[in-house]
Every structure is written in structure tokens, then in C-alpha cells.
A and B are shown apart, each in its own frame.
Chain A
């Protein structure tokens, strides 16, 4: 009897496999437009990847509910690229070889983007990211686009803000990741160019939880201000909390991460008055508020609103270009459309792409964290002071 039960098992397994294969090769022509999505939904950068996938899914659902693109639905094929080059390469090859997509939205991690970008450039596949900010991506090729602002622009603007606020002696602390390191490097360069002086510079590996030694060292150099560049919200929030506990009462500047929802929860009242230089949604932009409300209604939370909006806009830009080319296999037509397009959406009005595939027409804003009593889910715990000054 044992033999027959094994036979039955094998038969069931084979049937199941056949079912999967048949499902896979359904619909022929006039099926949906298929677009790949690669995000770091596990590992470091998980928050960004998850928000990006959810925002994209939201946009796709909206488009499809409104009748699709000229009657054809839009379909996402989601893959996990984790946060490193090797996993991005396998995810990329899976999307292009198995799912045969020619347009990939992603990735949220710069390291993953830089791993897959050379392949995409060589094989003529479009990669379009809303979140990767490493300056090196500008040089990655003709098929590589992004709506996220390069860290270089964040750094330059931060340097300008510091100088305009009368800071002359600056201390920096940064997480040792490509993003945070890039922000620190460009901030420092711009600040020194303007005549400022760096009196202390510390860095820490991801997953550090105690910063008191490094912060004490920094405070001994008695800086006018402290700049924090973090990749993980937990570390950003903890640094703010611990530096205040050590008795520092000077101004704190940061990139976007240390004012994220989780970071503010950790830092509590200590974060009040912290200034962050980052791209942010314009409170006067009705479209942006609409998207945030829709996202909250769908997923019950909102975090990293600008990145969320960026990922959301990516889908609409993609839909517009697909409408023009009418073919999801035509990467060259799609690329040309991207170079020509001018878009107004969640993250700004009338923005476009330059010859490197970098976004132009968007700018960073200066944000200030509110006291705990005034923080609400809607305002994210901060107010927008205005656009960063240009030099």
C-alpha cells in the first residue's frame, strides 16, 4: 500500500506543477502591460522597499480601477532585491529572463541598483528608481532613470543651510553606509568650500545602539552644531536622544532618516527643533495630500512621505510612457519618452529628466521637528520651513 500512496503523492505534485505552468501561460495578446518591480523588501532598507512596493501597488490599483491604459491593465511583477548587488543581479535576471519584462521600477537600495544597472544598460532594459540616491547612479547609463534626488544635492543644500544659519564649526556623525556616507561627504565638502570648519567627524556601523563614547568625543570639540547622517531610523533617533542626555543643547541638523516616525518615537521630546534637509512634499500640493490620504486608507500608516510619493509618481510616469509607446517590450521607445516627458505629480510640478537620467525641477526643503504635543500623524511630527537656500 505504501507504493501506491507514494505514487498518488507524485501524481498530485505533478498536477500541481502543471496547474502552475498553465496559470503562468494564460492570456495571449492584449493582455496587461507587465512591469517589473525590484525593491529591498527584506534585509537592510526593508522599510523603504516595503513602502515603495505598497505605493506602487496603490497607483496601479487606481489606474486599473479607472479603466487601465487605453483599456489594457497594468500588472506588476514584484521581486526582492534585498540590499546587495548579488541578490539584485539574480532578481534582475529572474525578471528579465523568466517574466520577460523590459521595464523595471526600482530599486530602493543604491547598492542593489548599482549591481543590476550595468546589466540593464548592456541589455537595453529600463531601470527607473524613486528611492536610490547614490551619486554614482548618475553615471550608470542611458537606460537608468530616477526621480530621487542624488545625495550630492542633499549635501550641497545642507552645507548651504548650515552656513546661512551662522554655523562655522561643525561636528558630524554618520552611519557607514553608501547613503549616509554620501550625505556626509557632500555636506562636508560644501560646508568647507563656504569657509566652515569640521571639528569632529565620527562614523558607526549599522546596528550600533550606544553612541555615548563617540558623542562625548564630539562634544569635547565644542561644535556650533551637530550633523547626523543615518540610514536606519533607530540609530538616528537614538543619537538625538543620547546627545541631549549628555547635555548638548546646540542645534542639530540631519538627513531625512532621523526625523522618520520611528526615530521620533525613540527620541521623544529630545528631537524638538531638529532641522532636516531633504526633499519633502509641498503642503500646498493638493495631489500630495490626496495620495497620502489614499495610502493611509489602504495600509493604515504613512512613513517616508516623499519617497512614498516618488514611488507613486514613478508608476504614473510609466503609465504615461506606456500609453505613448503602447508596448511594454519597447524599452527604447520608453527611454526616449522618459527623456522628453515633463511631469507634475505628488513630489513636484513640471519636473523632467536630464541627459543622465537625473531628475531636474525638484528641490530640497528644510524641515523642523515640532514639540511632542504638536506632533500628529498627519504632519509627521515636523513643519516645512521652506526651500533650501541655493548658493
Chain B
């Protein structure tokens, strides 16, 4: 990938001739964005080391999978969706319900069905169900675009949240589902945090690979063309609705995968994890990182998680206002970033 070769070339140039590298690179904001975010992540890991870095890494991996999936729809196809949190929820709840075990007392007493499947059996169903739901709503969504698309996807997120909250016989409503199974291959259970992080990173790698294959294929180029001028590409005989539907479903399936992983990682989910606000945060991550750039989504997720978790270490705050002040600082940083870099850290295209 060009990112990797670009990074390698930079390293080589620095070694060969630092002065001229500096002359060429000092105006390169993208390069600095990369260096700052990655550098901060590295410092953070060394500084705060061990266990907490693993937790932060896991949170990053889940957000990154989601961000890549949303970027396919928003960045490449130009459909601004704030409904992806719904697919995350569908994936999470499918896994939670399918893996739930009769040994969990509350489920038995409340007559909630239990299946007791292993995680890796539930995973494909989570992905599939998210895809099927996306297909059904996508057929309707395809009639809209631009700002109307934001509104209908907003509607979808609200409907999904209300369903999780109200379908009490399956989701336990506001009580949430506990004791969600950790993944296991044979006798080997991913119950350690480090093993789970490794699993998350493997899935993240897989998702990045799939996304990269999509955007570099002719299919991806048609999507980009739809974003730039849908009517123009229709003139050439492309059925744009099919393309938009396809990328919507694929993206939803990846979000469903993230949901399954999230449920298993936290072992407890309730509807509060799938509120609309999280969807807005997700859109901010994608825009922060840069639209139409897979690397941007990874970098955006990293920057966001590092900002949010790094904020826990701002010293000398009075303990009563610690949470509120952090949120204000985070908000201001995001506004400043958007003011000075509206295309995102490494993006090429503005909304």
C-alpha cells in the first residue's frame, strides 16, 4: 500500500539527507498529523504501559473497525449515514442472545430464550443479520441522498435503539444481557485481555484488507464516481442504486462484526451503548481522520481514543468536575481541528 511505501521512503530520506528532507516536509501537514498521533500513542503506551494500554488498544480496534466500515459508505460512496450504531447494536445483540447460556439465572427466571452457542458460531450470524437488515432498509434508503439520507439514517438509529430497549423478551430491555461468552477455539479461550486484543487486531487487519480490496477495485472506482457525480456515471449505463446498496450492505456487515466483538469484549451490553450520540462520535472519527482514506479512519480512531483516554491524565483538575472539563476540552480540540483542517488529518475530500 502506498502509505507503507511512503513511510519507508520518508525514513530512507531522513537517514540520507536530513536537511533537504526537512525542507521538503515541513509544510506537509499530513506527515505531521501521522507523526503526532502515532508518536503520542507510542509515548502513551510507554508512559502508562501494560494493562491500560491493552484496554485502550481494544477500544481503538473496535472503533477502527467501525470507522473503516462507515468510511466505505460516507467517504467513498458519499452517503452520510448516522445509523451505523444500529448495525453495531444488531451485531452485539445477536451475539449476546445466541451465546447466552441457561446457567445464567436471570434469563431462566424471566423466560428469555437461551441458545448457548459458542462465539465463533454466533459471529457469522451477527454479521449476516446486520447484512439482511441493511438490505431491507437499504432498498428504501436508496431513494434518498445527501441531507435526506442523514435524516432517514437518523431514523434508523432511533428505531434500532428503541427496539433494543422495548423487545424485553429477547434483549431484557434496559437491564441488558450479562455474562456474554468470550471466544474459544477448542479448549483455548480468549479470556485474557491481551489475547482478546490480538484477536481484535486480526479482525481489524482482515477488515482493512477487505476495504482495501474494495476501494482499489473497479467497484470502488464506480463508488467514487457516484460520490462525485451520480448522474454522470448513470449516463455511462451503471445502475448506481445497485452499487450503493451493495456497499451499504457490506459496510453494515462489518459494523455487525464490530458489534459481535464489542459484546464479547465487554461481556455486558445494554441499550445505553447504542445511543445516537455514539453514532455522531463515529461520524466525527471518520471526518477527523479523513474521508475516503482507510488509513485516515485508522488514524482518526487512534487520535480520538488517544484524546479521550489521554484526557484522563490531565493533571490538577478538581475531582468534582473532572469528567465535565475533559469533555469540554475534547469538544474544543475537535472544533479547532475542523477549523484548521476541514478535510481531516489525512483526507483528500471535504463533505
Q: Would you give the shortest CB distance from A18 to chain B, in whole angstroms?
A: 11
* In the complex, A120 has a CB within 8 A of chain B: no
Give the interface size bracket for B toward A.
35 or more
Is B273 within 8 A of A176, CB to CB?
no
A50 to B262, CA, bound (A): 28
> Interface digits, B150-179 against A, CB 8 Å rule (1 contact, 0 not)?
000000000001100110000001111011
Closest beta carbon of chain A to B117's beta carbon, Å: 20
Q: Does B25 contact A (CB under 8 A)?
A: no
Decide: A86 and B266 in contact? CB cutoff 8 A. Answer: yes
Inter-subunit contact A115/B268 (CB<8 Å):
yes
B350 CB within 8 Å of chain A: no
Q: Which of A28-73 contact B (CB under 8 A)?
A: 37, 41-42, 44, 49-50, 53-54, 57
> Within the complex, what minimum Cβ distance (angstroms) separates B302 from chain A?
15
B48 interface hit (Cβ, 8 Å)? yes
The answer to whether B320 and A57 have CB atoms under 8 Å apart is: yes
How far is B52's CA from A57's CA once the two chains are assembled, in angstroms?
26
User: How far is it, in angstroms, between the C-alpha of A177 and the C-alpha of B52 when the chains are bound?
Assistant: 30
Q: Specify the main secondary structure of chain A where it touches its partner.
A: helix
Question: In the complex, given contacts A93-B52, A111-B272, A139-B105, what are 8 additional A-B residue pairs having Cβ atoms less than 8 angstroms apart?
Answer: A41-B320, A41-B321, A80-B323, A89-B266, A114-B176, A118-B268, A139-B106, A179-B174
Q: A54: nearest residue on chain B (CB-CB)? A: B320
A-B contact count (CB 8 A): 112
CB nearest to B158 among chain A residues? A205
How far, in angstroms, from A53 to B317 measured CA to CA in the complex? 14
Give A residues with C-beta under 8 Å from B: 2-3, 17, 20-21, 23, 37, 41-42, 44, 49-50, 53-54, 57, 76, 78-80, 82-86, 89-90, 93-94, 96-98, 111, 114-115, 118, 134, 136, 139, 176-182, 203, 205
Q: Which residues of A contact B176 (CB under 8 A)?
A: 85, 111, 114, 178
Q: 7 tightest CB-CB pairs across the interface, nearest first?
A: A97-B51, A80-B323, A41-B323, A93-B55, A97-B52, A78-B319, A178-B174
- B59 contacts which of A44, A90, A139 (Cβ < 8 Å)? A90
State how many angstroms separate the Cβ of B198 from the closest Cβ of chain A: 17
With the chains together, A235 CA to B56 CA distance in Å?
Answer: 36
CB distance from A209 to the nearest CB of B (A): 16
| A20 neighbours in B (Cβ, 8 Å) | 313, 315
- Given the contacts A85-B269, A85-B273, A42 and B323 also touching, CB distance less than 8 Å: yes
Q: Which residue of A lies closest to B48 (CB)?
A: A98
Q: Can you pick out 16 interface pairs between chain A and chain B where the beta carbons lie within 8 Å of each other?
A: A2-B26, A41-B321, A54-B320, A78-B322, A79-B312, A79-B322, A83-B272, A84-B273, A85-B268, A90-B56, A94-B52, A97-B55, A98-B48, A98-B51, A136-B106, A139-B105
Q: Is the CB of B55 within 8 A of A89?
A: yes
Q: Which residues of B contact A21 (CB under 8 A)?
A: 47
In the complex, the answer to whether A85 meets B165 with C-beta atoms within 8 Å is no
Residues of A within 8 A of B43 (CB): 17
Which among A2, A42, A50, A54 has the highest number of chain B CB atoms within 10 Å?
A: A42
